[in-house]
Amino acid sequence: MSSLSHARPRHSFQTDDPALWPVAEKVRAGERLNFDDGLALYRSGDILAVGWLANSVRERMHGDIAYFNVNRHINPTNVCVASCRLCAFGRKKGEAGTYTMALEEAWRTAAEGITDAVTEFHIVGGLHPDLPFEYFLDLVRGLKERFPKVHVKAFTMVEVSFLAKRAKLTIAETLLKMKDAGVDSMPGGGAEIFADRIRHIICDHKIDGGEWLETAKLAHRMGFKSNATMLYGHVESDDDRVDHLLRLRAVQDETAGFQTFIPLSFHPDHTALAHIPKSTGMLDIRQIAVGRLLLDNFPHIKSYWQMVTPKLAQISLRFGADDIDGTVIEEKIYHDAGATTPQGMRRADLIRLITEAGRVPFERDTMYRAVTRSEDTFTVSA
Ligand code: SF4
């Protein structure tokens, strides 16, 4: 009996797309998929078959559990030296609409506007030309002093590389100072698409794909867990997507430091690529499914409801996703790019979405430990 059918008896897989037959055999046998398999999954017209396979793997790994968390995003500044064409958030110094939080303001913001105690601060922002590295370290230290129980997930590989250059430190020295200040783990942003040809078009000023992956590797070796993203739905091809996923998988084979893969749907509004049409539901759902199937060594696949809408995130819980992200208070980056989703979602709303998808809600902390609540505080299981 295959491992898939052993996990949960299901009626047999069916598709009239012959390109999926060998892929299905490998998935059944628990074998690793290759580049061509990835292309077949991207190109198949039978999205239900692709989703069925991804869901089989998802249920084998997580059963009916669907994870969510209660987090708060802090974007300390939107001033940025880079001019990524994909971006609607960053502004040049002196331009209208720029902001930079004073430290007191950032700490105050961290405590405002929520009814549930947050378990995580998610901190990312622009590459500010003048803010010293100490500002970011003080930001984290101050949060840890005020909210010692809250996990700090801060600074993408792109920010780490930039801060290292600003502070004239090596990447390892920079990561060590972050760790000493209280950074607990790192988000997965800035990965975009690793292929140089695409990076030159969408984010020419960012570190290249190889540097992003090397920084992640080093962070993992120094004890940080991180996430990994892929920005899709712009000028990339199926080949570029598969290449991106397989490069992530290769790093994960070495470090096992990635927790979650998060495909990010490109929002073109207010960016230099505003002429590109928005992604469609089929494209969004396929990224989740293909991510689950190719990234066999990633524990979690997240459908980020802020990007794909709560309704599609809910459906994706049947297409390979096991995580629907969090309550997310005050997200700025995707909303500047035209995301029309609400700024935040209540815990009860997330639970309802999950339950109505036939899944079992599981409130997690950043490390996927169970969170139990009482009054206005929380406890994380050991
Ligand atoms: S994507 Fe990030 S690095 Fe690029 S311009 Fe926007 S804020 Fe700056």
Q: Can you give the pTM of this predicted structure?
A: 0.92
Instruction: Identify the pLDDT of residue 8.
Output: 54
Q: 250: CA distance to ligand 1 center in Å?
A: 26
Name, in order, each residue with C-beta under 8 angstroms of 305's C-beta and a sequence gap of 6 or more.
Answer: 312, 313, 314, 324, 325, 341, 345, 353
Q: If you average pLDDT over each of 71-75, 146-150, 224-228, which comes out highest?
A: 224-228
Q: What Rg do the C-alpha atoms of the chain give, in angstroms?
A: 20
For residue 277, give the DSSP letter: P
Digit-coded pLDDT (tens) for 210-225: 999 999 999 999 999 9
Every domain of the chain and the residues it spans:
2-62, 65-380
Q: 118: CA distance to ligand 1 center in Å?
A: 26
Task: State the average pLDDT over residues 366-377.
Answer: 85
Strand pairing of 360-363 and 65-69?
parallel
Instruction: Give the Cα separation of 311 and 266 in Å (integer).
Output: 17
> Is residue 303 within 8 Å of residue 288, measured between CB atoms?
yes
Instruction: Give the Cα separation of 325 and 364 in Å (integer).
Output: 10
Nearest in space to 119 (alpha carbons), one of 382, 344, 366: 366
Query: Which atom of ligand 1 is least distant from the CA of 86?
Result: 1
Half-sphere exposure of 356 (CA within 13 A, CB side): 12
Q: 74: CA distance to ligand 1 center in Å?
A: 15
Q: 203: CA distance to ligand 1 center in Å?
A: 8
Task: State the average pLDDT over residues 244-259.
Answer: 98
Instruction: Identify the pLDDT of residue 4.
Output: 44
- Cα of 358 vs its chain's centroid, Å: 23
Q: 83: CA distance to ligand 1 center in Å?
A: 6
Digit-coded pLDDT (tens) for 114-145: 556 789 999 999 999 999 999 999 999 999 99
Digit-coded pLDDT (tens) for 188-217: 999 999 999 999 999 998 999 999 999 999
Instruction: Give the Cα separation of 148 and 141 in Å (integer).
Output: 10
What amino acid occupies position 170?
Answer: T
Instruction: Give the Cα separation of 78 and 149 in Å (integer).
Output: 27
Digit-coded pLDDT (tens) for 18-44: 999 999 999 999 999 999 999 999 999
Count of CB atoms situated within 10 Å of the CB of 287:
29
Residues with CB under 6 A from ligand 1: 80, 82-84, 87, 89-90, 126-127, 158, 203, 206
> Is residue 112 within 8 Å of residue 76, measured between CB atoms?
no
- Cα of 8 vs its chain's centroid, Å: 28
Q: According to CATH, what is the number of the domain 65-380?
A: 3.20.20.70
Name the residue at shortest CA distance from atom 1 of ligand 1: 87
